[in-house]
Amino acid sequence: MRQNWRSAVLDRTRPGLLVRRHFEATVFTALAEELLCGDVAVIGSEEYADWSGQLLVWEAVEEKLPSYLVEVGLAREDEAAGFGAASFRRQLEDRLRDAAAAADAGHPDNEGLVIDPETGVPSSGTAPASSP
């Protein structure tokens, strides 16, 4: 739970009062975190349905995976059947490389970003004056 929860729930327009919806969201977020890590338990919860029974069996996932990968744009029709962890990693690396190249190409026109030519450290603001 974030330590600055008070600033999120206090009403700034009415000192001493809480914003009810923000307070409720904070309480339920904290409760969910405590339930997940096992610090809180709900008496009688074993009577409720097991959510894992609603999951697909792996064979059904494997059958649907190629068309899903094509539908969400992670694979082309011709590569979906052989798509695996290595393909996914390669695709992520390619996308990251393309994004970095686009950012690098736009750098000279970006006046809000300055990269020190000596150290390579980026900062915001104006470039330091070069010495003659």
32 shares a domain with 74: no
Residue 129: pLDDT above 70?
no
Tell me, yes or no, whether 98 lies in a domain: yes
Tell me, yes or no, whether 72 lies in a domain: yes
61 shares a domain with 32: no
| Mean pLDDT on 24-30 | 90
pTM to 2 decimal places: 0.38
60 shares a domain with 99: yes
- Cα-flanking dihedrals φ and ψ of residue 2, to 5°? -60, 145
Q: Which domain covers residue 18, as residue numbers?
A: 5-41
HSE at residue 32, side-chain half, CA atoms within 13 A, is 6
| Mean pLDDT on 106-118 | 75
Tell me, yes or no, whether 112 lies in a domain: no
65 shares a domain with 36: no
For residue 114, what are the β-bridge partners?
A: 123
Most confident of 32-36, 41-45, 114-118, 126-130: 32-36
Task: Supply 65's token pair.
Answer: 């995976």
Query: pLDDT by residue (tens digit) across 38-73?
Result: 888 888 887 777 778 888 898 998 888 888 888 988
Tell me, yes or no, whether 99 lies in a domain: yes
Q: How many domains does the chain have?
A: 2
